């Protein structure tokens, strides 16, 4: 409701500034949180585009590669591509002369680094989701303390009006904090799930590539690691905002 009133006002910029001023000192940390969250969301949206993580040309080339075939064309493609999948495939192709188990170990080491890159910035969204409602609550409590400290200094209707106005302004911080936390939580959950899905797709493609590249080779000794799996994303659950 407060945001709608700001939008309908004759001078929205002045109204927003007045809204921040009336909300108290805790509105400014909340404003910083909103700017940081918006920046991270924009950057993660660009970084997690499919072409930046799982380019179609590499997927198609892996599917086209016959079992036991030469991966020279694929090798040229991944060396010219900066995507996460390209870096994993490059590691796999670089270690083709090594035993399969050593190749898988090298891929897993690189995959852990790629997961860190894909999850970059998500911890910031998680923190903002948790602290924004708390900052709003602290701002509201601080405002109410100020209002009730002046209780009884006025007389009659003037005193009642001042209290009502003070409570309304004190709750501005709570409204602002929740309006930051909700979209940030949505973005955090979406990006976390997207990273998880992409990691599964990369795992599937790398497993397919390894199977084709080592097709027809003499099986390794018993006890060798038979399969490869992407590391589990570090951020698995969305935080629950506190109010």
pLDDT of residue 3: 46
Domain membership flag for residue 243? no
When pLDDT is cut at 50, 70 and 90, the band that residue 149 belongs to is confident
When pLDDT is cut at 50, 70 and 90, the band that residue 143 belongs to is confident
Using CA atoms of 177, 180, 183, 186 in order, give the dihedral in degrees to the nearest 10.
-70
Higher pLDDT, 200 or 144: 200
Domain membership flag for residue 177? yes
Say how many domains are in the chain: 1
Domain membership flag for residue 112? yes
Query: How crowded is residue 145: how many other Cβ atoms within 10 Å of its Cβ?
Result: 10
pLDDT digits (tens, 9 = 90+) for 199-227: 999 999 999 999 999 887 766 554 445 45
Query: How crowded is residue 226: how many other Cβ atoms within 10 Å of its Cβ?
Result: 10
pLDDT digits (tens, 9 = 90+) for 87-99: 999 999 999 988 9
pLDDT of residue 1: 43
Q: What percent of the chain has pLDDT over 90?
A: 53
Higher pLDDT, 148 or 183: 183
Is the entire prediction scored with pTM above 0.85? no
Residue environment code for 155-170, b if the CB has 16+ CB neighbours within 10 A, otherwise e:
eeeeeeeebeebeebb
Pick from 25, 41, 45, 214: nearest CA to 126:
41
Higher pLDDT, 183 or 229: 183
Domain membership flag for residue 233? no
What SS3 class is residue 219? coil
Distance CA 175, CA 167 (A): 12
pLDDT digits (tens, 9 = 90+) for 22-78: 777 888 999 999 999 999 999 999 999 999 999 999 999 999 999 988 899 999 999
Residue 137 and residue 25 in contact, taking contact as beta carbons nearer than 8 Å? no
Higher pLDDT, 234 or 46: 46
Using CA atoms of 142, 146, 149, 155 in order, give the dihedral in degrees to the nearest 10.
-140
Quote the domain boundaries for residue 133: 2-212
Indicate whether 2 pLDDT > 50: no
pLDDT of residue 77: 92
When pLDDT is cut at 50, 70 and 90, the band that residue 5 belongs to is very low
Indicate whether 121 pLDDT > 70: yes
Domain membership flag for residue 231? no
* The total number of residues written for the chain in this structure: 243
pLDDT of residue 241: 53
């Amino acid at each position: 409701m407060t945001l709608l009133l700001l939008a309908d006002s004759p001078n929205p910029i002045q109204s927003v500034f007045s809204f921040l001023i009336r909300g108290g000192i805790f509105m400014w940390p909340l404003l910083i949180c909103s700017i940081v969250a918006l920046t991270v969301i924009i950057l993660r949206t660009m970084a997690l585009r499919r072409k930046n993580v799982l380019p179609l040309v590499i997927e198609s080339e892996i599917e086209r590669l016959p079992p036991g075939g030469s991966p020279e064309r694929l090798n040229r493609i991944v060396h010219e591509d900066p995507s996460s999948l390209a870096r994993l495939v490059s590691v796999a192709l670089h270690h083709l002369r090594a035993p399969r188990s050593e190749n898988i170990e090298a891929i897993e080491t690189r995959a852990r680094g790629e997961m860190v890159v894909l999850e970059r910035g998500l911890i910031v969204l998680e923190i903002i989701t948790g602290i924004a409602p708390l900052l709003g609550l602290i701002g509201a409590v601080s405002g109410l303390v100020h209002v009730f400290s002046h209780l009884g200094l006025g007389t009659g209707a003037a005193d009642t009006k001042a209290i009502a106005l003070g409570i309304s302004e004190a709750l501005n911080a709570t409204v602002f904090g929740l309006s930051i936390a909700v979209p940030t939580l949505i973005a955090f959950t979406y990006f976390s799930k997207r990273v998880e899905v992409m990691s599964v797709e990369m795992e599937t493609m790398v497993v397919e590539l390894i199977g084709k590249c080592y097709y027809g080779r003499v099986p390794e000794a018993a006890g060798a690691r038979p399969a490869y799996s992407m590391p589990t994303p570090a951020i698995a659950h969305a935080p629950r905002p506190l109010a």
